[in-house]
Structure 1
Amino acid sequence: MPRNTTEKNDQEDKHSFPQEEESLQSLCQQIREKRISKKLSLESVSGHLHIATKILKAIEDGKPENGPTPVFFRGLVRTYCQFLELDKTEIIDKIDNFLKVEDPSERLNIKNLQPVASIKKPQPIRNIITILVILISGYLIYSFNSMQKSFFITEDNATNQKYVAEEKAIIKVKKTVATKIQETANVDKSFTEKMELKKELTVVTNLGEIKTETAKSTEKKLVTNLLEPLTLEVEAIEGTWVSISVDGKEIKDYRLEADEIQQWEAKENYLLTLGNSQVVRVLLNGREIETNRTNHLLRDWLVNANLMP
């Protein structure tokens, strides 16, 4: 009798897993039907949820072994079902329970804790020795720093005294050099002033000589001009007329044709009127003199030796 009971239980166990697989597959089949009823393809769902098409197909086939690890697979199934708006109690929770049963690796992780080390009792002697060592070390360091500081202060004082003495010597030398430079500058300045004064005297002397020579030349020229008679020539390029007074005498009128030349001779000056100054050439002692050609009529033009070039 017990043997028959055992065989019966074995048969029930053999049929339990197929029933569970069929139940999981039937639930997953509902997921596929819901997707199709919404007229959605696996590719469109994959684009919305960012889940690979291969994993979506494994969910709809009810084959978790074709997907990632069981924990991630359950999460992806839940996300897919929520996207399709499936009933939580009827579909989502049941699928989740089936997947939990099929996940043998889901166990409690029990960590072996190391025993806490027993707290040792304080040892007063060790603490006292430690404090004494710290105090003695601090005193030694302080003493060493104080001795080193006093040594550096003494050395700095000696260095400062030496530096001050050197500074005084340098300042004295600088003052001596500055005095010598000033004396040299004064001598140079005096010499320069003397040279400039000498140059000025030379320039003044030269200017006096030049003025004397110029005056003599001018005087000589005036004397020459006074002794030499003034010959005036008027050459007409086109027909025109002239009026002339020689040495203050009576004014006389002359008609000049084209290319005609009229000549006069005076001792001092001429008083000349030109009918058209732009068509005549005026020569004094054979040299052409400038004529005011601003207007055609040139009235009472005084011509003397001063106009000679």
Structure 2
Amino acid sequence: MELVGQILKKNRNIKELSILDISNELNISKEILDNIENDHFQNNIDYVFILGHLRSYCSFLGLNQDELIDQFKKQHQPNKNIKINIRKPKVINNLLYSNKIFSFSLIIMIFTTFYFLFVEVDKTSKEYALIPDLPENYIAIIEKASVEGLVKSNNTKKVNEENFAELESNIRSSSAIASLPKNNTVKSSTITLKILDDTWLQLRNRNNEIVFSQLMNKDDEYSYPLDNKFSITSGNAGHILVIINQTVRGKIGKKGQVVDSLVLSKDFSN
């Protein structure tokens, strides 16, 4: 199967174009174009970044972008089916150890049964024997004290419930006052990046961490607050239109231009 780099080189020669001509037209370094044609890539170059350049190169030569991109991915990201042999665990049958556990468990079971059947029953009988029966005239006194205690407990519970209900009502009133909306909230500006044609887009935060990286298709959009101050990197700046608070401010660059770490402000205009 013919490699993608060979297809690009053959079509470039048919159009009688040099690497330098395409480099000047697309604002892509001659070294990267040579590497694409020769299928030689350095480890320090982002794979997504290479796909963005490849898509621009295919578009410039009038080739089928999607077909060549898929072929390029198959050539440089082949499926690898790796068989991993996992050793089966060794089963050790230790009959002697099992017999010891069984014997020890049986001894504990016999001892526990003997304790509850004889010792615990005898102990309970002795405790009951030490407690004399109450006289009949004390029974009424005990019942009266129990009823009075129950009534007092219910009254206390009722008072506590009323106090809790009053406290809960006060808390809800305070929460309602505290949660009143403020009218002087300041709304942050919103940046929308509208994609005019297929291009690669990457966004980084203030800590230089990637928050978004993707090959965008035509008519795709990505929005974020202006206060985030994301830095923009793209393989084709002319395909990205900037909209701030629903107002069109222009493109971030020219067609084929590569931008790196561009931070948009609220006054951006192009």
Q: Tell me which interval the TM-score lies in, with the shorter structure as reference length.
A: under 0.3
TM-score normalised to the size of structure 1? Answer: 0.24
Greater relative contact order (CA < 8 Å, ≥ 6 in sequence): 2
Greater Rg by CA = 1
Instruction: Choose between structure 1 and 2: higher helix proportion.
Output: 1
